[in-house]
Amino acid sequence: MPELPEVEIVRRNLIAWTRDRAITNVAASGRHRGVESAFPSILGRRVEEVSRLGKYLLLHFGTQRLVIHLGMSGRLLSHDVETYVTGPHDHVEIFTDDGRLVAFQDHRRFGRMFVSEMDLSALPPLGPDAMHGNLTPARLNEVLSGRRGKLKAALLNQSVISGIGNMYACEILWSSHLAPDRSILTLHVADYENLAHSISDVLHQAIAAGGATLEDYRGTSGAMGNFDLSFAVYGRHGKACPRCRSPISAETLMGRITYWCRGCQR
């Protein structure tokens, strides 16, 4: 599933393709239950801004927002209208006044696309964005302190912190020397400082590398990222930890495969 870095890269690419462009047509396949069947309210409107909340992309049209969630396999790819051939997994094609379109492809159909009013009441509750600059050690303490449960579960809970998924949670916890099954109640001031730094550092590095190459991830140009080549623990079961050389463990925690180093994550 695309996580915050991949979604942020798509957002930045979408700005180049859609901002200040008028929407001339939106064609929906009608085969995707997570996608509205028609988008009449945004036809003829100009895209004023493209923003992101956690893993959600938002195209701004005055008081309305076109909300996009890529789900597990969603892609947004930009094409020339004259040469593009609609594919079997294209569920929405957004046409702009410069002769281009953005195709939303989603072969697993877990994504979403719908129009919302400015209050975004149709979105589920979201915690502070993991990369908007306000996730300081003090803010992390505020949103996590007093919560029961394991640290990794809190990182994956979008209503606590938005944008982090399984892959980057593993990398962030390794970077911060914290074990995924660590009880939140045992965290100290230094732990919050390490965690805040690691969240920012890992996500910024991933974005600089173009995200991670996932089976279904592409930027709007179709390009793939290479941050997965820098993974310390994710997908490296049995290999040596880059920090302490202990073998990387892979266990199911909170229903997700979790990669971590028992030698240096406490």
pLDDT at 229: 83
pLDDT band for position 217 (50/70/90)? very low
pLDDT at 191: 98
Q: Is 6 marked active-site?
A: no
Q: Please name the amino acid found at residue 191.
A: D
The CATH architecture one would assign to domain 137-261 is Orthogonal Bundle (1.10)
Domain boundaries along the sequence of the chain: 4-117, 137-261
Show the beta-strand stretches assigned E in the chain: 23-28, 49-53, 56-61, 64-69, 75-80, 90-96, 100-105, 112-117, 248-253, 256-261
Fold of 4-117: N-terminal domain of MutM-like DNA repair proteins (3.20.190)
Summarize pLDDT for 60-100 with one digit per residue, the tens. 999 999 999 999 989 999 999 999 999 999 999 999 999 99
Contact 79, 104 (CB under 8 A): no
Q: Is 2 marked active-site?
A: yes
Q: Is 55 marked active-site?
A: yes
Catalytic residue among 21, 45, 243, 256: 256
pTM of the predicted model as reported, rounded to 2 decimal places: 0.92
pLDDT band for position 213 (50/70/90)? low
pLDDT at residue 242 greater than cutoff 70: yes
- Packing angle between helix 4-18 and helix 189-208, nearest 10 degrees? 40
* Domains 4-117 and 137-261 equal at CATH topology level: no
Q: Is 3 marked active-site?
A: yes
Catalytic residue among 11, 52, 55, 75: 55
